[in-house]
Structures are given as structure tokens and as C-alpha cells.
A and B are shown apart, each in its own frame.
Chain A
Amino acid sequence: MYDVIVIGAGVVGSLVARALSRYRLKVLLVDRASDVGEGTTKANTAIVHAGYDTVPNTLKAALNQAGNAMFDDLCAALDVEFDRCGSYVVGLADGDRATLATLLARGQANGVPGLRLIDGDEMRRREPSINPQTVGALYASTGGIVDPFGLCIAAAEHAVINGVTILLETEVTGFLRAGDGRSGAIRGVRTSRGDLTARWTVVCAGLWADDLRHAAGLDTFRITPRKGEYFVLDRRAAERVGGIYFPCPTAVSKGILVTRTIHGNVMLGPNAVEVSDKHDLATTAAGLNDVLGGALRLVPSLDTRDVIRTFAGLRAAGSTGDFLIDAPHEAPGLVVLGGIESPGLTASPAIAERVVELLREAGLALEPRSDYVPVRRGIPRFSQLDRDAQRELIARDPRWGHVVCRCETVTEAEIVAACHAPIPARTYDALKRRVRVGAGRCQGAFDTPLVIEIMARELGVDPLTLTKRGGGSYLLRRRTKEVSP
């Protein structure tokens, strides 16, 4: 019997589990994917928003503002890369000046600090690659860029370090209920690995929040997946992009933006297209074309030869338009989060605190642990260290001197560490998110055979069982000279 089961190990669920791990509780974090952060967390714009574009007096506005303010301490405690580099909303036509003024007023209403309108000349001086037709911009000093999967992994690992149990590749198929089993209090979940009982269940299931709400017999809240497509550009392109450039927003999204990423690449996107399939992560020629067009309007000198990857993510857009964080009285024992679309990443640490408060108000006894470990340290990134630090690591373990991924300068020691981390990397993509093998300009063409060998050795498995991201995503079919199984 757990005190709390958290369904969904995305950035929100992982931060909720971490927040609960401060207390003397038996907590389970469960996800059906092969790694944490395999949903919306791994495919988004990776921006910590300042909070000038949320509608005042909404949960989105309040939690954006609160979450943004938490990022410096959070990322320091979790050893996650975060850069409060500031962001710009760029006006490209005279009509955009009014939009910029509206955003400024809204930001002030939301209590966002560090907002300032700058004119076209100043914008061009600050960001020389910006479209020369720029008429002005709204500068937000509190905007930043973060590693979203790094944050999720760190939060989940911090939770595990503090006693939370994590169960991956475990799909929740329904709820256990007291009494007649249909309308009584929620007492846990049915999963692909059997029933798990708990006093409280928190649903952080992203795109599947509505399905789980319905499974609990709740209302008609709906999630509509809204696809966004992206390009990732070689680090070379970062010479032209100093920060975050948003266009003036549209009714459905913040628009197609150009941003530097925390890892030094440039990212373009996203567009916004409603889709019906929650698994539809396919990019389309039309969508990519739209993204490129939008990005080139902001930075006309972008070079498509710098593209190293394209991907798509799905926003979990809720039918209320706002975040839903609810402990419904029809289903005692249940807390459901829904509609955690942008600015969900920014708000995630504040959402986690809100969930804890909700549970406290509902009667969960929160007794602080005396043995709580307040910080979590990640795997050092060899490429980011100075020569002295690099030398020290190699002296300690020669595998720090063996570079396996050339483009991102990832060493064997980093791969080994990721395979033995509190939440081990068990798939190629999991490893990529932890240490960046294959995330560079050759996209794994060079490192893949080496990584397969090292992972199989460290995990003690046959290379034929390794996958890209679990399930049927096998990397190798058979040995040569063998017949297909």
C-alpha cells in the first residue's frame, strides 16, 4: 500500500514525486514508457517563459509566474543546465507595436518583473541577425532556456534518491475503488503489471489526462493534441542567435520562434496543428515548410544546410483553456492534472507544490523526512569542463579520456555513469537525453556501434535486446550468418 501513486513520469509527475519525497511517505512513480520524460517533456520548446502572455487571473498566469521564479534554485539543487538569457517578442510590422504594448500591460498585470519595450534600433544592435525590418520588441529579462528532459530526469532521480519507487514500462489501465468498486474512493490503480494500492493517486498523464479522468467516472474534460514541428540546427547557427526570439503571438500559439538551446544549438518552431491521434508524432512536409518560413521571417540569414534534425511534439491542450488541477469530490483519493500545455514546463515546479498543498488540505499528513537529501548531482559533462577538471577526471578513471561521441565530445565514462545512474539509461534515446551521444551533427552515425557495445556490456544484456526507446524499437535484427528469428 502506497501513500501516493503518481501516474506519469514526465516533468510534472517527476517534480510531484520529488516534492512528495521530502515527507515520510511511501510514493510510487509509474509510467508506461521505457524512460521518464518520453511524452510531451521530450518534445517542446524548452523555454522558461517570463509570463507576459498568459491571461491574468488564470492558473496558467499564477503558476507561470511562480514557477519561473523557482527555476534558479531548482536547477541549482538538481544540477540541471538553465540559462536566464532573456527573451524578445519581435514586432516586424507597424501593427505589431500595439500587440507589444498589450503584452507589456498583460505582463505587468501578471506581476512579471523585468519587462521593457525596446525600439527597432536597439533590437538590431542587441541581436544583429534579427530581421532588419524589426520595429521594436518586448524584452523579458526573466525568460530562459532549460534542458527539459534533463530537468525531468534529475527530478525523478532526486525523488528516487529520497526513497520514491519508480516503475517504468507499466501501463495504468484503470482505478481500484472502495465499496462497490465503481463509485467509492479511489484506492490505487490497475496496471499491466497488476494492481497497486494507494491512499492517493495523482494523475500527471499529459495527453492521456482526459482518458484517465473518464476512467475514474469524471466529467467531460477533453484533451486535444496539438502538434508542433521543429528543426534543430548545428551549433554553427548559434553564432547568429543569441537568445529567444518570439514573433508576435497568434490566437492559438506563441508562434514560430527561433531560440538558442541550452546545449548550444538553435531550434526553430513550433507550428500548431490539431490532430486526432495522441501518438501522431510524424513531421509533415507542409508543417516543416511553415516552420522554416516563420523562422526565416525572424532571422533571414538562417541556413537550411545547418539542419541536423527535425521532430514533432504534441501539446496537451485542455478543453477549459486553463490548467486543471483538481481533487474531484466524486472520486475521493484522486488528484487529476490536465491541460498542462505551455507554459507547463515553466509552471511545473509550482504545479508540484500546488499538488502537495492540495493533498495536505485533503488530509494527507506531511511529516518532513529527517534524512532528506536536498541536492542531486548529475553526470559531469566532459566537454563543458576546463582542461584541469578534465585531467582530474581522467586521472581518476581513464574512461574519461576515451571519447565515444565525436560531435558532442561524450566520453565512455559518461555513458557508463548513465547506465548505472539512479534511473539507468536502458535505451539509446535515454542515453542520448542524459549524456547527448548522437545528439550532434552526425546524429549517431559514428557512435552507434560503439554505444551499443558499451551499453550491452554495462547493462549485462545481449546487444540484440537493445532498443531505441523500448517496445518494438529494436536496433539490431540478428547476427550475421544467422537466420532471422
Chain B
Amino acid sequence: MTSLDCDVLVIGGGPAGLAAAYQARQSGAGCVRVIERNWELGGILPQCIHNGFGLRVLGADLTGPEYASAWVRRALEAGVEPLTDTMVLSVAPGPRVVATSATRGLFEVRARALVLAMGCRERPRGALAIPGTRPAGVYTAGTAQRLVNIEGYMPGERYVILGSGDIGMIMARRLTLEGARVEAMVEILPFISGLRRNLVQCIRDFDIPLHLCTTVSEVRGRDRVESVVVSQVDATWRPMVGTEREIPCDTLLLSVGLIPENELSRMAGLTLDPVTGGPRVDDRMATSMPGIYAAGNVVHVYDLVDDVTESALRAGRYAAEYARDGQTWADGWLPLQAGRNVRHIVPQVLSPTALAKEPCRLELRVREPIEAPAMVEVYAGEGLLASRRLRYARPSEMITLDLSPSAAGALNGADALTVSVTPREDGAAPEESA
């Protein structure tokens, strides 16, 4: 088998992969390659033609294609070598990767360090086991987005959208602008799962009916979707008898969650976090296997591409260092535990010696919304290590907290750190935010 060697190999040419590859080169890695399954770099961004990308990282309000091309340019100018139209078939310790493409055929890449940046996929209908028939006309929001924005096709004319993820909300607006009718968006939770700005700009501004605590309880139609039945749900998320309402439509769009794409991580034998579905990483974005790093939505699903880029810049830098030194500079790990009202936290472990040298960013999500001033706190045993005041805390918006190197001196031999998010005792009235 033909073999390509490189210092850092990145799997995935989306925003995470591009930033990791760019930064690996900037940090001194010689040969950096990016494998991308699509014919072009950019991942999902080329189909995200709405704006809101890059406000923090690039200081400009860009569309997805603009943000992608900015990073493609950076990566290429930095000397990153892309391998597009290429699918990775296997990842093994080494790290050794087998991939295939029409132009190169089957080939192996041996890398000194590997960055996993495969992103995430959408949860399909089957995973929800929605009862009813199985007609044409059930699409995930992202598939519909590709059909409309890239391929130039409208999958249907009358839509019901299940779930209130960001892609679903963006598509509600997009389809309306294309002349279709969005009959309703229904969300099983009592709150939306996407960003507040999308609720305002895509749902409210376009008068799209939003029904919370509601789900699709049945799909009807033999050949093509003819209608869906929506029902209100009880406290255990089960549809309540007597609340059914049939909504005629020809398409059901699903925006019911994203799942980190970790089949390759599993194949490589990495330790995965059962809550995020992504690899367990440390504060250097290193996975449980030496030389394998992870970045972006493959670790956990981010709300904003800017955060993806920042996590990937870190992964790229540390992957380059590993490629150079062949070792990590950590000598022991401290687990980070999800405490009160915290669903998950990344990184899952951190190294006290590493923390002593530079700050560590914690990324977490809450379980329940707190629509009032709140506080995120990190405890080492009984001792408060760090905290940050929040105007509110919502499951749909990732919370970050930077631990400073001085925290390393305050660990006091604790065997774990615990993170919690609770209402602030001195809290004032909830602040409205958009």
C-alpha cells in the first residue's frame, strides 16, 4: 500500500480541522495534512449561508462560506496539504490511518501526531422511534439545508419542524424565504435548544408557530408525508392522550440533536465520555491514546464556530508539540466532575503540572435553565478554586471558564475537581437577552 508520512495528520477539513492544521504549521510542524471526505474544504460551513460566524475569532460578522474560505486560505498559506475527496477507513495506534480516494486509491498515512476533527452528525428519525408510517419526506434539517443551499432543490412545500436546534431554526427561515410554508416548529422541552438570536431572527420575525412541550407523535402518509400528529407531552416526555392535533404537511424536518462522529475514535480504542459521546480529552485536547488529539464537535457539540476554532487551535498546537517531542508534559491527571446542574464538562481531565504553566479553558453545559443570575464554580475538594458570574445559564448555550495557572497552587492534593452552576444568592431579576 502506498504510504504518506507526515508530522501532523488531521481528519476532517471543517472549521476544527482547518484551524488545527493551520496552528500545527504555525507551531512548527513540518508536514501537516488534512483529510476531507468532501470535494472541497470547509466541512458543513459551505451550506451555512446565513451570517453570525466569526464575530469573536475574526472580528467580523461572516457567512459560513466566508468563514470557511478565510480559514481555508489561512491553512493553505501556512502550507497545509489537503487531501480532499478522501474517506478514512480506519485509525489504529501509531497513529496509522488508512484512507481511500478515487484519485489516490487506498493509502496509509503514518503521522507523528493525529488530530481527530470529524465533527458531528444529525440524530435521525429512527433514533427517536417516532411511530407511524415511513414515507418519503422525512429529512434532517442539515440534509434539507444541503439540498436547498448547495444542490438547489426544495424537498417539499409545507413543513413541520421537530426540534428547535439551530439548523432547524435557520432552515425555517430559509424555507420561508424560498416560498415554502413552515406550519409549525415543535419542541419537546419547555425551552428551545438552539440560540436565542436564532429564535428571534428566524422564528419570531417570520411568525412561525413555535410549540414547546410538544412532539410529533405520529407520521402519516403512505408514499409521501401527508400529515403529522403533534401532541403535548407530560412530565416524562410522553405524548398526552387527548392533546393530539393533525397538521397537514408534505415534509417533516428533524432538528433533534447532533451526535459527535466517533466511529473512528471507537475503532482506535480511545476512551469515550458516555455523556458527550466524544473522546475523553485533557486540557491539551489530548485523548487517552498518546499522539491522538481531538478538536471541535467531535469532542462535544459547540454552539458557535468561533469556539470550535479556538478549541482546534489548542489541539493543533499541542499536536505539533507532540510531533516534535514525542511526549506530553503531563505527569498525572485530575478528573473534572460534573457537579450540581452540570451535564458535562470538557476537558474531562486536566494535568496540574500543565495547568501551572498556562491557563486551562473549561467548557460545560447545564442540565436545567436558570433564567436568573447564576454562578459557575469549580471546587477542589471543599475549596473554591475559581468562579464566574453569569447573567443566566441555559442548556443551549455553552459556558466557559478559564482556570488560571495560579489555581494549580490551590489544588491542595484534591483527587478531583467538581464544577457546578447554581442560581446566584444575590441575584437580581432575570435580564432579558437576545
Partner of B143, one of A311, A445, A469, A477: A445
A contact residues, range: 35 or more
Given contacts A279-B222, A473-B136, A477-B250, contact A442 B105 (CB under 8 A): no
* Chain B stretch 196-254: residues in CB contact (< 8 A) with chain A: 217-218, 220, 222-224, 239, 250
B contact residues, range: 35 or more
Partner of A449, one of B87, B133, B151: B151
Most chain A C-beta atoms within 10 Å of own C-beta, residue among B133, B148, B153, B156: B153
The answer to whether A285 and B101 touch across the interface, beta carbons within 8 angstroms, is no
The answer to whether B153 and A445 touch across the interface, beta carbons within 8 angstroms, is no
* A24, chain B: closest CB distance, angstroms: 40
Q: List chain B residues, Cβ under 8 A from A469.
A: 136, 223
Question: Which one of B124-132, B300-308, B346-354, B395-403 contacts A?
Answer: B124-132
A199 at the B interface (CB under 8 A): no
* B199, chain A: closest CB distance, angstroms: 24
A191 at the B interface (CB under 8 A): no
Q: List chain B residues, Cβ under 8 A from A170.
A: none
A395 at the B interface (CB under 8 A): yes
The answer to whether A399 and B102 touch across the interface, beta carbons within 8 angstroms, is yes
The answer to whether B124 and A443 touch across the interface, beta carbons within 8 angstroms, is yes
B92 at the A interface (CB under 8 A): no
The answer to whether A474 and B224 touch across the interface, beta carbons within 8 angstroms, is yes
Question: Which one of A56-64, A85-93, A401-409 contacts B?
Answer: A401-409
A251 at the B interface (CB under 8 A): no
Given contacts A310-B129, A449-B151, A483-B179, contact A402 B102 (CB under 8 A): yes
Given contacts A391-B106, A445-B143, contact A479 B154 (CB under 8 A): yes
The answer to whether A406 and B37 touch across the interface, beta carbons within 8 angstroms, is yes
The answer to whether A448 and B222 touch across the interface, beta carbons within 8 angstroms, is no
- Give the CA-CA distance A412 to B37 in the complex, in Å: 13
A309 at the B interface (CB under 8 A): yes
* A311, chain B: closest CB distance, angstroms: 6
The answer to whether B136 and A474 touch across the interface, beta carbons within 8 angstroms, is yes
* A80, chain B: closest CB distance, angstroms: 24
* Chain A stretch 436-485: residues in CB contact (< 8 A) with chain B: 441-446, 448-449, 452-453, 463-464, 467-481, 483-484
The answer to whether B224 and A311 touch across the interface, beta carbons within 8 angstroms, is no
Partner of A402, one of B85, B151, B155, B223: B85
A394 at the B interface (CB under 8 A): yes
User: How many inter-chain contacts with C-beta < 8 Å in the A-B complex?
Assistant: 154
The answer to whether B133 and A281 touch across the interface, beta carbons within 8 angstroms, is yes
Q: List chain A residues, Cβ under 8 A from B222.
A: 279, 471-472
The answer to whether B157 and A484 touch across the interface, beta carbons within 8 angstroms, is yes
A146 at the B interface (CB under 8 A): no
Partner of A479, one of B101, B121, B127, B153: B153
The answer to whether A403 and B100 touch across the interface, beta carbons within 8 angstroms, is yes
The answer to whether A281 and B103 touch across the interface, beta carbons within 8 angstroms, is no
Q: For residue B146, which residue of chain A has the nearest CB?
A: A449
B147 at the A interface (CB under 8 A): yes
* B149, chain A: closest CB distance, angstroms: 8
Q: List chain A residues, Cβ under 8 A from B134.
A: 281, 311
Partner of A472, one of B103, B224, B266: B224
Given contacts A310-B129, A311-B134, contact A479 B102 (CB under 8 A): no
Given contacts A395-B105, A443-B126, A480-B178, contact A449 B147 (CB under 8 A): yes
The answer to whether A445 and B142 touch across the interface, beta carbons within 8 angstroms, is yes
Q: List chain B residues, Cβ under 8 A from A409.
A: 87, 89
Most chain B C-beta atoms within 10 Å of own C-beta, residue among A428, A443, A444, A452: A443
* Chain B stretch 74-130: residues in CB contact (< 8 A) with chain A: 85, 87, 89, 98, 100-106, 121-122, 124-127, 129
- Give the CA-CA distance A272 to B380 in the complex, in Å: 56
B423 at the A interface (CB under 8 A): no
A192 at the B interface (CB under 8 A): no
B152 at the A interface (CB under 8 A): yes
* B343, chain A: closest CB distance, angstroms: 15
Q: List chain A residues, Cβ under 8 A from B133.
A: 281-282
The answer to whether B151 and A231 touch across the interface, beta carbons within 8 angstroms, is no
* Chain A stretch 388-444: residues in CB contact (< 8 A) with chain B: 390-391, 394-395, 398-399, 401-403, 406-407, 409, 412, 428, 441-444
Partner of B153, one of A399, A444, A446, A480: A480
The answer to whether A308 and B147 touch across the interface, beta carbons within 8 angstroms, is no
B30 at the A interface (CB under 8 A): no
B140 at the A interface (CB under 8 A): yes
- Give the CA-CA distance A477 to B132 in the complex, in Å: 22
The answer to whether B102 and A477 touch across the interface, beta carbons within 8 angstroms, is no
The answer to whether B155 and A282 touch across the interface, beta carbons within 8 angstroms, is no
B55 at the A interface (CB under 8 A): no
Q: Mark B176-191, 1 if CB is under 8 A from A, else 0.
A: 0011000000000000
The answer to whether A480 and B152 touch across the interface, beta carbons within 8 angstroms, is yes
The answer to whether B152 and A479 touch across the interface, beta carbons within 8 angstroms, is yes
The answer to whether A403 and B157 touch across the interface, beta carbons within 8 angstroms, is no
Partner of A468, one of B125, B132, B135, B179: B135
Q: List chain B residues, Cβ under 8 A from A453.
A: 151
Q: For residue A281, which residue of chain B has the nearest CB?
A: B133
Q: Mark B371-397, 1 if CB is under 8 A from A, else 0.
A: 000000000000000000000000000
B1 at the A interface (CB under 8 A): yes
Q: For residue A308, which residue of chain B has the nearest CB?
A: B126
- Give the CA-CA distance A469 to B135 in the complex, in Å: 9
- Give the CA-CA distance A441 to B260 in the complex, in Å: 12
- Give the CA-CA distance A428 to B321 in the complex, in Å: 47
B150 at the A interface (CB under 8 A): yes
- Give the CA-CA distance A453 to B266 in the complex, in Å: 31
The answer to whether A476 and B153 touch across the interface, beta carbons within 8 angstroms, is yes
Partner of B1, one of A391, A444, A484: A391
The answer to whether B122 and A442 touch across the interface, beta carbons within 8 angstroms, is yes
- Give the CA-CA distance A313 to B368 in the complex, in Å: 40
- Give the CA-CA distance A307 to B126 in the complex, in Å: 7
- Give the CA-CA distance A394 to B122 in the complex, in Å: 30
Q: List chain B residues, Cβ under 8 A from A471.
A: 222-223
* B157, chain A: closest CB distance, angstroms: 5
Q: List chain B residues, Cβ under 8 A from A391.
A: 1, 105-106
* Chain A stretch 226-282: residues in CB contact (< 8 A) with chain B: 231-232, 236, 279, 281-282
Q: For residue A287, which residue of chain B has the nearest CB?
A: B131
Partner of A308, one of B98, B127, B136, B217: B127
Give 7 CB contacts A-B under 8 Å.
Answer: A287-B131, A387-B1, A395-B105, A449-B146, A453-B151, A475-B155, A476-B155
Give me 8 other A-B pairs in contact (C-beta within 8 A), A308-B124, A445-B122 excluded: A391-B106, A403-B87, A407-B263, A409-B87, A449-B151, A467-B223, A469-B223, A477-B153
